[in-house]
Structure 1
Amino acid sequence: MNSVAERFLRYVCFDTQSNPDNSACPSSPGQMVFAQALKAELVSLGLSDVTLDDNGYLMARLPANIDTAVPAIGFIAHMDTAPDASGYNVKAQIVENYQGGDIALGKGDEVLSPIQYPELNQLRGCNLITTDGTTLLGADNKAGVAEIITAMEWLLAHPEIKHGEVCIGFTPDEEIGRGADKFDVEKFGAEWAYTIDGGPVGELEFENFNAANAKVVFHGVNVHPGTAKDKMVNSMTLACQFHAQMPSEETPECTDGYQGFYHLTSSTMSVASSQLNYILRDFDLDGLQARKARLKAMVDDINQGFKSDVVTLIIEDSYFNMKEKVEPFPNIIDNAKQAMIDCGITPMIKPIRGGTDGARLSFMGLPCPNIFTGGYNFHGIHEFATIEGMQKAVEVIVRLTEKTALNIR
């Protein structure tokens, strides 16, 4: 099982940040470089039907080793890392047998502290993999990639573990919401699957946000400030007034559990034109519609004070809550829960405060809950993973594969 950590440390050296400003698939060349390296590795391990298409979708199969008809199940992870922090020249470090306290990251003043991240207090005695404080780590989701491949390697080396056909898939551009865009569910061939893309050990998720993106554009009029009276419309002023009306308690930093939020992700500002970009999140679809309606009402309210519309609103749906597509198949969840219990893990059923490829794949006909990777603090320079957590993920994948066959036979 130590090979999962070695594999992961090798994978994080690939720069695979996705690029939301590039419409190509994959959106960054490093993702294809990584996919080609993974393809060669899968072939060398002896997996079947290893394919990599022009869009960077990598698939392979582990053939069944029993004669009984068993449903083909799948495991999926994404190869890209988030654009929120640099993924170039990642320098991972191993903290052996962590005994508490601050962890110095690299040679600078950056630290990983249990004061800011109290979950560290539960990880005494574990071996941690951290960044050097200048980049993200890439556990989201290269830990998942490493865990799936290590589990397949284990199953190949242990034919006494009986299983049906296992389909594995690695996708590009999940972090920018495009991971399922060109995923060929029929070619993949599984009846159901699991994304290995969660956080701490025990996480099992089959609920996620309903999600939408909103662009609020403010159209100003720029004239010389010396002659601006009754002529200038400063779009930045309108944008500030608009955002000031947003509910301050309904933001990511003030919500958890099943609470939704509005999140201002970026802005561009000038007198003549400004734009605020929001993401809207809610576990309840009616709640998401209410958030859209609120933004529209705020826009209408501003426009009423002018002779023409000075604010325009564009809203696009991103993904929906997979719960309605997964719940009709309780065996998928039950198998995963029991596999964790068999591995000495207490399952933690919780909603995903985000989305995964599995959310969209579930609506494409492939029910796809999410399982932990052993990673923490994704998308930033304080990201880390535990070697023990990654090893447990491998164990769960192996046991889940075996258990699916045992339940059918």
Structure 2
Amino acid sequence: MIEKDSIISRFVSYVTIDTQSDENSSSTPSTQKQWNLARKLHQELIEFGLKDATMDDNGYIMATLPATANTVVPTIGFIAHYDTTPDFTGTDVKPQIIEKYEGGDIVLNEDLDIILSPDDFEDLLAYKSQTLITTDGTTLLGADDKAGITEIMEAAKYLINHPEIKHGPIRIGFTPDEEIGRGAHKFDVEKFGAEWAYTMDGSQIGELEFENFNAASVKVFVKGKSVHPGYAKGKMINSIHIAQDFISSLPRLETPEHTSGREGFFHLNGIHGDVEETVLEYILRDHNKEHFEARKEVLNNLALEINSQYGLELVTLEIKDQYFNMREKIEPVMHIVELAEKAMRAVYVKPIIKPIRGGTDGSQLSFMGLPCPNIFAGGHNFHGRFEYVPVESMIKATEVIIKITELAAKK
């Protein structure tokens, strides 16, 4: 049904274009190099014959696959992002294609002794005899989310070539800067015009997600007072020590390395400072909204307690909400999740319905009025040198897209 060679060729053509985003940039896209893939995607959609394909000044790409059904069918959308994470280099990606994976170690880079092993990544064993695409060990791969883009493009091409498949209007959307939390910030929901959509941005085959973390970023500013250490008694206030007290006062087991499922956490992901001032950077995550708000209170109360001990306002907080759990927006329209689940089963994929331990453009879009669950794109070990994707998973994701459009037209 879906051509394996076409999937591989398209995916490789996308991942070899560097599209890392940059959280320190204020432009959209946040990096100029994202335009290289954006322009390519826009041109490919035009070549598909999608005459309304547009790309705005911020790099948001939209196009419509016209309906083939003779009845009124809801307009649905499929969305993916073309940036890759700034956490690991995406420059000069050299994909390696492993045919008929035998189940053992994969040497990614012999010179650097970098090995992708099922001893470390047990999920590999689920893909024995399949074709894997890996990195060469020096970069990430970019399956997050160029696998999703590949699947949407291949599904669109297939539907164009098979007009006998009846479907309603299908909207396609590609966005920049998802990896730095801005993928939906300038997404024009009204222009997109879909009743609902799906992000093709999940991981292993079968994933279907409609709930995610509530999320906030926190900066903790700790003031100190610098005095010559030889004459500092009773005068110096060392902000580093106070910051250390702040860190150690938080629940030690409520951190990413000790939590799973729907358990939330405090994550210290940055610290810099000196005697005069120390800044701590945290992210807060929790699926439960009440628990999420309680985590903010824990931080506020801790700051108040430390300040009262010194009789000075030494600790101040800057808390910024980032996104919220989309479950509350999806539950009133659960038929869109049930449709995706039915489509998966129809193409012999077992649905894995679970909460996302992270964020997704779908969360922000859901709160912007576009309900948007998340479907697997097939990749594993995102954001690092051990990233890989089974080609067969990408084929199945493409089949799921096609089947969703077909089933939606039969309702």
Distance in 2 (alpha carbons) for counterparts of 1:94 and 1:253: 32
Report the Cα distance in structure 1 between the residues aligned to 2:138 and 2:226, rounded to whole angstroms: 40
1:327 deviates by 1.0
Amino acid of the structure 2 residue aligned with 1:306: Y
Contact 1:5 1:390 in 2 (8 A): no
What SS does the corresponding residue of 2:310 show, helix, strand or coil? coil
1:188 deviates by 0.5
Alpha-carbon deviation of 1:42? 0.8
Matches within 5 A, 1:320-399: 320-399=324-403
TM-score, normalised by the number of residues in structure 2: 0.97
Structure 2 CA distance, aligned partners of 1:238 and 1:135?
38
1:73 aligned to which of 51, 66, 76? 76
For 1:315, what is the secondary structure of its paired residue? strand
| Structure 2 residue 54 is the aligned partner of structure 1 residue 51 | yes
Paired position in structure 2 for 1:18 = 21
> What is the distance in 2 between the residues matched to 1:221 and 1:384?
50
User: In structure 2, what is the Cα distance between the partners aligned to 1:405 and 1:217?
Assistant: 55
Give 2:106's aligned amino acid: I
CA contact (8 A) 1:48 1:62 kept: no
Residue 230 (structure 1) shift: 1.6
Q: Tell me, in whole angstroms, the C-alpha distance in 1 between the residues paired with 2:35 and 2:45.
A: 15
Deviation, structure 1 residue 169: 0.3
State the distance in 2 between where 1:150 and 1:225 align: 66
| Matched ranges for 1:185-264 at <5 A | 185-264=189-268
Q: Deviations over 1:17-51 (max 9, x none)?
A: 11111111111111122101111111111123111
Of 66, 73, 82, the residue aligned with 2:85 is 82
- Deviation of 1:138 after TM superposition, in Å, equals 0.6
Write the distance in 2 (CA, Å) between the matches of 1:35 and 1:382: 26
Correspondence for 2:12? 9
Query: Contact 1:140 / 1:378 at 8 angstroms: preserved in 2?
Result: yes
Q: CA deviation digits over 1:148-170, x for unaligned, max 9?
A: 01100010111111111000000
Which secondary structure state, in structure 2, belongs to the residue aligned with residue 49 of structure 1?
coil
Aligned partners of 1:74 and 1:192 also within 8 Å: yes
Q: Which amino acid aligns with 1:269?
A: G
Q: 1: distance between equivalents of 2:297 and 2:405?
A: 45
Letter in 2 for 1:96: E
Residue 38 (structure 2) aligned to one of 29, 35, 39: 35
CA RMSD of aligned residues (A): 1.0
Q: CA separation in 2, counterparts of 1:309 and 1:134?
A: 46
CA distance in 1 between counterparts of 2:248 and 2:113 reads 35
Cα distance per residue 1:235-270 (max 9 Å; x no partner): 111112211222221111111111111111112122
- CA distance in 2 between counterparts of 1:116 and 1:291 reads 33
- Which residue of 104, 109, 113 corresponds with 1:106? 109
What is the percent sequence identity of the aligned residues? 55
Q: With structure 1 as the length reference, what TM-score do the two structures score?
A: 0.98
